[in-house]
Structure 1
Amino acid sequence: MLNIADTLRRWCQAARPFALATVVDVTGSAPLPVGTSVAVDRDGNAVGSISGGCVEGAVYELCRHVLREAGLPRRARFGHSDDDAFAVGLTCGGELDVFVQYVDPAVHAHLAAALTAVTEGRPATVAQLVEGPDHLLGSTLSVLGDDHVSSAAMAAGPAGPAVAAEARALLRTGRGGRATVGGDGKSCPEPLTAFVHVHAPRPRMLIFGAVDFAAALSETSRFLGYRVTVCDARPVFATPARFPHADEIVIAWTHRYLRQTAVDGRTAVCVLTHDAKFDIPLLRLALDLPVGYIGAMASRRTHDERLRLLREAGLSGGRLARLHSPIGLDLGARTPQETAVSITAEIIARANDATGLPLSRTTGPIHRPPRPGPVPAPGHRYRPPTAT
């Protein structure tokens, strides 16, 4: 849904009904991820794509059918079609489970606010009920960044609070997905499954050390969607002219800045200072924080010496195991730009629990479901004491 948020927002604001087809489950390889949507309005206008072309015609006709009926949602599963050149299916060998529902903006009035938040870059989630009692199928619920919850139909029953809680949890991870609630006689008697679309703030990339490698890494990280901060204690090096792709440049002792800034489970910390007087206090703190990735630039010799100093500082083997050093994947990188690709490749592999090996040396699906991210306690923002 959020891949076409801008168009859907305009249709909602114009009170323009539409059919929404969403990929809610994938088996094997598929061209586009779960949560991707196509929408069709009553005039036959279509926006979005869910398969790169191979099942779009069938999905379009299904949307037109749902629009004509304006009734219960429909589900369809599209599988492999190599056996028949005229069959509707995926040539990549995977399977898509598609949920199609009729959306009347007058009934789903909260959607306009949620989609506006997304197009303006503010955090928001939208949950669609895709499995459960017929009278609730297609119900939607949104949670905005200020924790405001709005819904259509779901709020009328016990499912609303449970789905809202799951939506909040997924918003904190920055990743959408399926959420099943109920069936336990407590929150609601019947099991319900919602698909939760998530638009989270950009994850943070904290780069410590205003060096040439940091300039290349800030550019690559911003391209990948990170909000980039470059921090260095030396004002002559930490300048906007040297780091035009950084969202923020901070002149401060690196460990002091890390102590007072907000981080979460999607934050990446890259230490490029290559100087023990900066690295050791910084890494001592970083390795105790709930961040997603910690990497440090080093030669093999520097890495061994750094580990010795960190052990002397009281860090255990478990905490040291979180440190990716020497930083990056083995790509044979030499230039700052190549090194930036090596570092971000390792971060992507770490976030998805992937091997980092060439696909030609691996087996199984190329596209796999994302690994659920860490979920901090509600409202958690790590802010240690301000004392140095």
Structure 2
Amino acid sequence: MTRQIVHLIAAARPNFMKVAPLWHALAGSGDFAPVLVHTGQHYDANMSGDILADLGLPDPDFHLGIGSGSHAEQTGKVMIAYGEVAAARRPDWLVVVGDVNSTLAAALVGVKLGIPTVHLEAGLRSRDRTMPEEINRIATDAICDVLWTPSPDGDENLLAEGVPAQRITRVGNIMLDSFEMKRGAIAAAAEPTALDLKGDYAVATFHRPSNVDDPIKLAALVACLIEIQGALPIVFPVHPRTAARLQASGLDTQLGAAGIRLIDPLPYVRFMSLVAGARAVVTDSGGIQEETTYLGIPCITLRENTERPITVTEGTNRLSDASGAPALLRAALRWRGEGALARPEYWDGRTAARCLDDLRRRAGMLDNVGRRLAL
């Protein structure tokens, strides 16, 4: 039996966590063969390279080496580079994940070449079009053939935008498959012990331009973290972008003087070991909102909106600005899991298996030369 070739596109750290469980499911399936394409949009080892080993992924079959640049540069470079790969080594399926520039760029290549194209983590909406990721989400969902959603709000968003129901399959949250896949290693990593953390602590992560590129907002963020530090010690793995902004303004010195521990970004297993042991998380990340909900850890997200509202309505996440976050943190410290919230449906570590089942079902809807039928 000939195995169908599936290109999996990864570009940024969260992409690898979404790709890994699906790669393993496809590799063990017998009827599909995964091909890992790394666009190189993130190229720092701790932000991408080390995570391959952490998640049991092989070296990428293709590395496009795109690097940094403007949104237009990254999108255009990925389209050119992946277009050459896809034309020369045409897959039977293309799967794009998340909402980075590479997601939209590869999807554009796929649909224009007539390759059946799937968006994993489809349907998320923040309703904030000033976020580049929101534009990527909307455009990617508009052109992909198959949309794999993580939660009911994703289905509802797509249906409201006029997407035919047959293109949508709710598969669940694949980020949590990665956590379950590496749960033993995460526990064994004992990162809090390695960092000599004793007692309760909070983890902080910030990287969004809306928070770190504006000097006024960055200063407010630093003031917020210093105030929180007075109630709960903070460990802050610093994203390269954030580190550059803090150093340029001298605010890293203020954080250090307040006792906040600034550390380099951590590979996935060590980072999740740190998060899993935390009393609370303060962030502007998307994925951590999901992971903390799954783990029952209070999360304060310094954003005006979230594309993952289920983490607020059914989870442990709360939105805030910098001035309101310390009070929310103090309230979170009084919460000890009483009446713990149920996890959202299909957030169970079995999303990759549902993706594989849906791909098999839809593969039967293609003719024997790969033309689209009723995907």
Q: Which is richer in strand?
A: 1
The TM-score normalised by the length of structure 2 is 0.27
Q: Which structure has the larger Rg over C-alpha atoms?
A: 1
TM-score normalized by the length of structure 1? 0.27
Higher relative contact order (CA 8 A, sep 6+): 2
